[in-house]
Amino acid sequence: MFPGRILITGASTGLGLAIARELQGVGARLVLTARPSSMKRFEALGIVDCEQTWLRPLDVTDVPQREALMAEIDATEEGLYALINNAGLSYRAVVEDVAEADRLHQMNVNFRSPMALAVLALPGMRRRGRGRIISVSSVGGMMAMPTMAVYSASKFALEGASEAMWYEVKPWNIHVTLVQPGFIQSDGFEKVRITEKGQASMANPESPYNAHYTHMADFIAQVMQRVPATPESVARKVCQVLASNNPPLRKAATLDAWLFAWIRRLLPRRMYHWLLFRMLPNIRAWGPKT
């Protein structure tokens, strides 16, 4: 049994819900959060607030909400054992089509908020001499894809800060892990936010980036329908990390994540980028119109 509460952000749907289900199955004491507008999903799923499983509204970007929740958990006798930073979102756009407000919102949700929660969690973990901080990253945190620039930027930032934190808190028996899923069989791509400028580029066949959006959207949608990985299979990898006595800094959670990690290691960087460019869908249609 885990020696304290486990906090999961974004737990009312998708991977967060799958992680919660796995941990409920082994009797873990949980704190499940969702945005206030999404809390009704728990009731529909048959998950109720009780001593074993706390349900708490949390917009991860809301500073008072973050502080109040972490204080409530820290005040309990068992305290917080593990923080699972799962909540996130994805903006889809080429670099030119990202407005500053989009860029800041993406970074706030995927990078600044997980780090802020970690900062709130660490004093109690250091005091107790144990703890886990697991952040759901992405293959997009080790390699970037066209039309996903600002998303990758947020995950690259999360990876860099988490790697530094791995060194910093290890002396207190606090383990930091980045779980890296690749493509997962889900409807997640349909929930990606397309920026206003991105929508205009998609709707305009004369846009210089129209082919980028069209071919990448079709490619990713097809891949996500065919891959074997599911939220449940990735959740099991997260739980393996949580149960491990010596978890790694990075954990590939899907086969494609593992393959891309090895391709990066084995190929010279110039060949690696050349290969990935050639693999882009219908790449000959991108660029200047002839």
> Active-site residues: which are they?
137, 151, 155
Task: Tell me which residue of 81, 224, 226, 91 sits closest to 154, measured CA to CA.
Answer: 91
Q: d(Cα 215, Cα 34) in Å, to the nearest integer?
A: 33
C-alpha–C-alpha distance, residues 81 and 206, integer Å: 53
As a whole number of angstroms, the distance between CA 111 and CA 273 comes to: 26
DSSP assignment of 60-100 equals TT-HHHHHHHHHHHHTSSS-EEEEEE-----EEB-GGG--H
Query: Do residues 12 and 58 make contact, with C-beta atoms less than 8 angstroms apart?
Result: no
DSSP 144: -
Distance from C-alpha of 109 to C-alpha of 115, rounded to nearest angstrom: 10
Cα-based torsion angle of the residue sequence 203, 209, 211, 212 in order, rounded to the nearest 10 degrees: -110
Phi, psi of 78 (to 5 degrees): -80, -25
Provide the angle, in degrees to the nearest 10, between the axes of the packed helices 113-128 and 149-169. Answer: 10
- Helix intervals (H) in the chain: 14-24, 40-44, 63-74, 100-107, 113-128, 149-169, 196-203, 210-226, 231-243, 255-266, 269-279
